Amino acid sequence: MTTTEHSPAEQHAHTHGPGCGHEAVVHGNHVDYLHDGHVHREHSTGDGVHYDECTNCRCANCTDSCAVCDCADCDCPTCNHARCSCEHCSDSCNNCVCTDCTCATCTHAA
């Protein structure tokens, strides 16, 4: 059994979603909400829903969230800025859904 590591975000008085006033960024299989210098993602549990801080870039010189990292030499596999190298795609590797994808760094690549 694999345990998913998560870091609960601070409490706030609204639910993130369309029209909540915070920028939404698709990151892999979830949506992150940029919130006062934090990047929150919804986390559902048996006790309800709370928000976690999203993952941070693992590059040696970066402390940004993977959802907004823009390191030029980034080698973090979960960062959002790596672009699919397929000729017909312009999405990030984290969000690419090309059925015929040949990009070696896309998250759905075999």
pLDDT tens digit sequence for 81-99: 777 788 888 777 777 788 8
Handedness of CA 43, 6, 53, 73 (dihedral sign): negative
pTM: 0.62
**Could you tell me the CA-to-CA distances from 24 to 17, 66, 76, 97 in Å, in that order?**
8, 13, 21, 19
Most distant CA atoms of the chain, gap in Å? 45
Name the residue type at position 67.
Answer: A
Structure-derived torsion over alpha carbons of residues 62, 65, 68, 73, reported in degrees to the nearest 10: 30
25-47 pLDDT per residue, tens = 878 777 888 887 888 888 788 88
